[in-house]
Copies of this chain bind each other. A is one copy, B any other.
Amino acid sequence: MTKRPADSENASAPAARQVPMRDFSRSLPMLLLRAREAVMRQFRPSLREHGLTEQQWRILRALASIEAAEVTELARTAFLLGPSLSRILRDLEARNLIERKTAKADQRRSMVSISRDGVKLMASVAPSSEAIYAEITQRFGARKLAELQEMLGELERSLAAPGAADETTAEE
């Protein structure tokens, strides 16, 4: 699994490369990507059994926690772009997992809510989902996990909006 054949060829590779650029596999974006993938890899099989993708699950979870929402608000909550959300909502509606109705006061807005079927589906996924989360917590350590979550939040906040300085000393 770790060894590859044809390694005899490598003996003839040029030497070169003094500065390996500090191993780009340790760069922050790569570490975040890999960490997230490692986490999601735990969840995907269970979601898949229930016919849900990661994004669909995010939407249902978001809806379950906020009752009804406008599409724009839902996009913000589930961290999806409008076009992605638009497509996924179309599919979820066709599967009767959500419901939409145009807002009375503003014909442009549509209110989205989870349907009875959607609630049932969530109920059937939640147990295994929570078990997996618990397993992750146990493997990595609850204390460390909390720390990590805190740092991730801080990182996001420290990189938000302002173009230059940090927000605690923002002059606005």
Q: Which residues of A contact B (CB under 8 A)?
A: 4-6, 8-9, 13-14, 16-17, 20-21, 23-43, 54, 58, 61-62, 64-65, 67-68, 70, 73, 77, 79, 103-106, 109, 111, 133, 136, 138-140, 144-145, 147-149, 151-156, 158-160, 165-166
Contacts and interface: CB of A to CB of B under 8 A. Distances in A.
- 8 closest Cβ pairs, A-B complex: A32-B36, A31-B152, A38-B159, A35-B152, A38-B156, A24-B61, A140-B158, A139-B166
Nearest to A111: B9
A37 to B, nearest CB: 8
A166 B14 CA distance: 40
* Identical chains in the assembly: 2
A15 to B, nearest CB: 9
